[in-house]
Amino acid sequence: MNNRDLTTKEIERKLQFYCSYQDRCHKEVKAKLKTFNVNMHDSNQIISNLIKDDYLNESRFSKSFVRGKFNFKNWGKIRITNELKRRNISPYNINHGLKEIDETCYEQKLEELFTKKLSSLSKLSSIEKKKKIISYLLYRGWESNLIYSKINEI
């Protein structure tokens, strides 16, 4: 079946499944809608129905995104914030989502990443260790003031 042969109700059902499988942001749903070649009026109607039926919820998306990226990818708040901004999530929802991270868990995760990376760099000089750890943690979006306070412990 071609995407052009689908009715708006069939497309809406497909998007309901798409959103129920995993939390999605508006940007992802709009991109998916473009693959179905839906006109602007129908597209807006489908999105409003998805929001009304609670398939599409950016607050819930931001919370689950923050939890997932922090717990499984070991990202810091800076990288998470930048990725949410890239997905056009509102500052309110970004801040609301970041509250999902417990501060003690955040510090513990930084400590774990720091010690794990430090132990893997045993053959390098002190300066090279510091450079590698800093670049490793900055890439993952951890705050520089937290990184440098840990670096000073070496």
115-133 pLDDT, tens digit per residue, is 999 999 888 888 999 999 9
12 plus 34 within the same structural domain: yes
- For residues 82 and 47, membership in a common domain is answered with no
When pLDDT is averaged across residues 73-79 and rounded to a whole number, the result is 97
Contact status, residue 11 vs residue 36, Cβ threshold 8 Å: yes
Chain mean pLDDT for the chain? 92
Residue 1 confidence (pLDDT):
44
Does residue 138 surpass a pLDDT of 90?
yes
What pLDDT score does 148 carry?
Answer: 93
- As a whole number of angstroms, the distance between CA 50 and CA 136 comes to 39
Percent of the chain past pLDDT 90, that is, above it, reads: 84
Whole-angstrom distance, CA of residue 112 vs CA of residue 110: 5
Tokens of 109: 């995760």
- pLDDT(3) > 90: no
The interaxial angle of helices 58-73 and 77-86, nearest 10 deg, is: 140
Whether residues 112 and 144 share a domain: the answer is yes
- Cβ neighbours of 111 (radius 10 Å): 11
Inform me whether the pLDDT recorded for 71 exceeds 90.
Answer: yes
Q: Do 45 and 63 lie in a common domain?
A: no
The domain tally of the chain equals 3
Domain range spanning residue 40?
Answer: 3-56
For 7-42, write each residue's pLDDT tens digit. 889 999 999 999 999 999 999 999 999 999 888 999
